[in-house]
Amino acid sequence: MAFTLTRVAPNIFTAPVAVPFTITAAVDRGIMTVQSVTYDGVTLNASPFTFTVGAGTKNLAMVFAASDPLATVTISEVDGANLQTLTERPGSDTSAILIIN
pLDDT at 1: 62
pLDDT at 50: 98
The 10s digit of each residue's pLDDT in 30-71 is 999 999 999 999 999 999 999 999 999 999 999 999 999 999
The 10s digit of each residue's pLDDT in 6-33 is 999 999 999 999 999 999 999 999 999 9
Integer Cα distance of 3 and 21 in angstroms: 8
What pTM was computed for the model? 0.94
pLDDT at 69: 95
Whether 26 contacts 74, CB under 8 Å: yes
Average pLDDT over residues 70-95: 96
Q: Which of 87, 95, 92 is nearest to 23 (CA)?
A: 87
> Percentage of the chain with pLDDT > 90?
98
**pLDDT confidence bin for 79, thresholds 50/70/90:** very high
